Amino acid sequence: MHILYSCVCPKLVVLHDNMNDETTIHRPEQYHKLIVGTTFIAIYQPEDFEQRKAYYHAKRPTNYVFKIQIACDFHHRVVHVSKGYPGSEHNITILRESGLLEQTQEDVQIIADKGYIGEQYVIIPRKKPHGGN
C-alpha cells in the first residue's frame, strides 16, 4: 500500500499544503480511504416526455441512462453502491442523497472526479497539463 500512496496519489490528487508535513495530525495516508465514481446503465428512450427529460444524459451515446454511484476502498473492496438515479442527476447530489457521507468517518477523504466538487471531504484529481504527463 505504501507504493500506492507514494507513486499514485501525488500524481492524482492535490493536497492542502500542510497535509504533506510530517507534523500534521492527518497525513495523506490517513485521509485517502475511498474512491467514488458514477457509472451509467443505458435504458430505452422513455415514452413520457418528463421521464425523457429526467433520464437524458448528453454525454452518453444512448442518451438515456440510470446513474449508479460506487465507492471502493484502497483494498479494492466495494463498500457502497447507491440506488439508481436519473441520468440528469448531478454526481454531487447523488453523493449527498446516497447516505455515504453520513456513513463515512470525519477523518476519511473521498477521491472523486470534478462532478463531486462541493463537499469538503472530497479530493479532486489533478488535471493533466497540455502535452505533459
Q: Does the pLDDT value for residue 106 go beyond 90?
A: no
Identify whether 90 is part of a domain.
yes
Residue 4, domain member (yes or no): no
User: Could you give the number of structural domains in the chain?
Assistant: 1
pLDDT of residue 31: 55
Within-domain flag for 9: no
Does this model's pTM top 0.75? My answer is no
Per-residue model confidence (pLDDT) at position 37? 93
Is pLDDT above 80 for 56? Answer: no
Q: Is residue 20 part of a domain?
A: no
Across the chain, what does the average pLDDT equal? 75
Residue 76 has pLDDT above 60, yes or no: yes
Residue 49, pLDDT above cutoff 90: no
pLDDT of residue 2: 44
pLDDT at 127 over 70: yes
Q: What is the pLDDT of residue 105?
A: 73
Q: What DSSP string describes 23-92?
A: TSSS-HHHHEEEEEEEEEEE-PPPSSHHHHHHHB-TTSTT-BEEEEEEEEETTS-EEEEPPPEETTS-HH
Q: Which domain holds residue 44?
A: 33-123
For residue 44, is it within any domain?
yes
Please give the average per-residue pLDDT across 50-61, as a whole number: 74
Looking at the domain assignment, is residue 128 inside a domain?
no
* 110 touches 13 (CB < 8 A): no
Mean predicted confidence (pLDDT) in 64-77: 87
